[in-house]
Structure 1
Amino acid sequence: MSDYSFATDVDVRYRDLDTMGHVNNAVYASYFEQARVAYFDEVLDVPLREIESVLATLEIEFRRPVEIDHDVTVAVRVPELGDSSLPMEYEVRADDTVAATGETVQVAVDRETKSSRPIPDDWREDIREFEGL
């Protein structure tokens, strides 16, 4: 995960599992979300309730199962910044082995008009500094 700028641990809960004892595929989106919230909190110092963005895209590539006894870490990085879009890349590791990768795109929105708006300058500056962009 050395090429990722941020990582956070995620607890695998019993309710995350499917009938085969693996983390259900839909749960990975929640793991991405947990990592994204932690990233915003640390990098932007903004709590989720104040993040004015929506999820526009979600892609996940599964590589191996995650089980309840695995130590899981989700790494996050922002490879670039658009005008209103914030692409994010993820790597889910189970016991230090890549279990899944993925991407999301967040779009900054105006809370009142529900329209896209430019990424706030302070976000842009904080992310560029943190990511070395």
Structure 2
Amino acid sequence: MDTSTDTAAHRHTIEVMAEHLDNLGHVNNARYLEFFEAGRTRWYRAGGLLDLCGQAHPDACDTVVVNVNCDFLRECHQHEHLVVETRPGRLGGKSFAVEQTLLNGDGEVAARATVTSVLMDLQSRRAIALPRARGQLFPGAG
């Protein structure tokens, strides 16, 4: 059984509802990406990413996804309680990646994703440098 043992990951629980299902009776592939988005958003909040951005860039900024790689490994069904695990991945000057895992109700890995994002200045609509205090979310990056 392929299960996660990552104790450092941020976790977010989601209950599968009828609206998450497709005509095959399992969670639609697009919903997996929504579940991963919910996990990332909570990880950003928990780590204070947007607060750090506001301090470093007084003009408003936000995250923008620029690449998603997702492997769908197992079906998920209605009423299952899924766990989205989010952890830091690669860190660049303007971009960063997070590694995410979706665990099914039995604790098995149902999907894995690597999501690359940038911070975007909302006025110029361009990617901006990550704040120096990014080490809070990316330990060892400084």
Q: TM-score, normalised by structure 1?
A: 0.87
Does 1:16 pair with 2:26? Answer: no
Cα distance change of structure 1 residues 31 and 19 upon mapping to structure 2, 3 Å threshold: same
Cα distance change of structure 1 residues 39 and 111 upon mapping to structure 2, 3 Å threshold: same
State the identity as a percent.
24
1:51 offset after TM fit, Å?
5.4
d(CA) in 2 for partners of 1:88 and 1:76? 7
d(CA) in 2 for partners of 1:117 and 1:79? 19
Give the count of matched residue pairs: 128
Q: State which of 2, 5, 9 in structure 2 corresponds to 1:2.
A: 5
Aligned residue in 2 for 1:105 = 116
1:46 offset after TM fit, Å?
4.0
1:60 offset after TM fit, Å?
1.1
SS in 2 for 1:52: strand
Contact 2:50 2:62 in 1 (8 A): no
Does 1:78 pair with 2:88? Answer: yes
Q: Which has the higher Rg, Structure 1 or Structure 2?
A: 2
SS in 2 for 1:33: helix
Q: Which amino acid aligns with 2:35?
A: Y
Does 1:62 pair with 2:72? Answer: yes
Q: Which amino acid aligns with 2:34?
A: S
**Higher relative strand content:** 2
d(CA) in 1 for partners of 2:61 and 2:125? 13
Q: Which amino acid aligns with 1:105?
A: T
1:45 offset after TM fit, Å?
6.2
Q: State which of 43, 47, 52 in structure 2 corresponds to 1:43.
A: 47
1:2 offset after TM fit, Å?
2.8
d(CA) in 2 for partners of 1:90 and 1:23? 17
Gaps of 5+ in 2: 52-59
Q: TM-score, normalised by structure 2?
A: 0.82
d(CA) in 1 for partners of 2:98 and 2:120? 17
Gaps of 5+ in 1: none
d(CA) in 2 for partners of 1:72 and 1:5? 15
d(CA) in 1 for partners of 2:5 and 2:132? 27
